[in-house]
Amino acid sequence: MITPQKTGKTDEVFTPAYAINPLLPYLRKEWVILESAYGDGHLAVSLRNAGYTVVGSKDYNFLTEELIKCDCIVTNPPYSLKTKFLKRCFDSGKPFALLLPLTALEGKVRNALYREHEIQIIIPDRRIHFLMTETRLGKKSSAWFQTAWFTSKLNLPRQLNFVVGDWS
C-alpha cells in the first residue's frame, strides 16, 4: 500500500472512466498494464472495460516493492508523491502514463528528469472532474487544477499533444 505524504490536503482523488480516453490510442491491446497506485481500482476498472489486461492491487507498493511483470505503467499517483513515481517509472524503462497536475512541469528535480529522459504530454481541453473523498460523502467537489497525461515511450506524435474530447 502506498501512503501519501501528509500535506494537509487529500491525496484521495480517484479517476473517472472518461479520463483514459485521450490515452487509449497510444496503449497496445496486447500489453499487460500495471496500475501502480491502485487505490479503489477506478482506473483499473476503466482500463479493463476498454479491453486491457491490468495488474496491480491496493496492497502493492510500487515505490518499495519489486516491479510487477508488465509491459506498461498507467496510473493517477498521489500527487504528493509525483516525483517519486516519475523517478520509479523512468527507472523501470517501461512505457508509462501518469495523470498529473500541469504543475508537475515545475521543480528542479522533475526538470532534470525531463531533460534526461524524453517526456511527452497529452493535455485535455478541459479539467477532469475527479471523484474525491468529499464526493463519496455526498458533497460535490471537483479538482481546481488542470491535469495531463505525462508519458514516456508511447510514441505520441509530438511532445505536447492538445486533445479535444467528449468529457461527459
How many whole angstroms separate alpha carbon 165 and alpha carbon 124?
Answer: 7
Using DSSP's 3-state secondary structure scheme, residue 74 falls into: strand
**pLDDT at residue 133 above 50?**
yes
Residue 121, CB-side half-sphere exposure with 13 Å CA sphere: 15
Q: Quick one: fold of 13-163?
A: Rossmann fold (3.40.50)
pTM, two decimals, is: 0.88
For residue 130, the model assigns a pLDDT of 78
Beta-bridge partners for 161: 122
**pLDDT at residue 8 above 60?**
no
**pLDDT at residue 3 above 50?**
yes
Instruction: List the chain domain ranges.
Output: 13-163
Nearest Cα to Cα of residue 156 among 114, 123, 122: 122
Task: Indicate the range of 27-31, 140-144, 158-162 predicted with least confidence.
Answer: 140-144
pLDDT averaged over every residue in the chain: 88
Tell me the pLDDT tens digit for each residue of 69-100: 999 999 999 999 999 999 999 999 999 999 99
**pLDDT at residue 63 above 70?**
yes
For residue 142, the model assigns a pLDDT of 60
Percentages of the chain per state (helix, strand, coil), in multiples of 5? 25, 20, 50
